[in-house]
Amino acid sequence: MRKNNYGRIVHVSSRMGSLANMTSSSPAYRVSKAALNALTRVLADEVAQDNILVNSASPGVAATRMNYGGKAVSPEEAAQGMIWLATAPDDGPRGEFFEGRSIVPW
């Protein structure tokens, strides 16, 4: 990506990794996603001059086997925010955490 002076990196995260909403359930998962969001910020800063955008995205609750039948969006709908980040223009967001096109506080 640096060689081509272009790139888009989208880390797949979860709202459970938001420090703003941290609770005691699933601590290992939550901490690993919070660490991924921190890595997103660090890496985004490291490659800022190389036209490489780095962001984290939560797909939300998607209708997959992992959801166990709960309320969810389709996998296609869940992917839309990540596709938006993966195809962002050069002045797109850097080092942010999204669900869909909305920034998630963390």
Annotated catalytic residues are 29
- List 103's β-bridge partners, or say none: 98
Give the chain's length: 106
Which of 101, 91, 106 is CA-nearest to residue 48?
91
* Residues sharing a CB contact under 8 Å with residue 13, sequence separation 6 or more, in sequence order: 33, 36, 37, 40, 56, 57, 58, 97
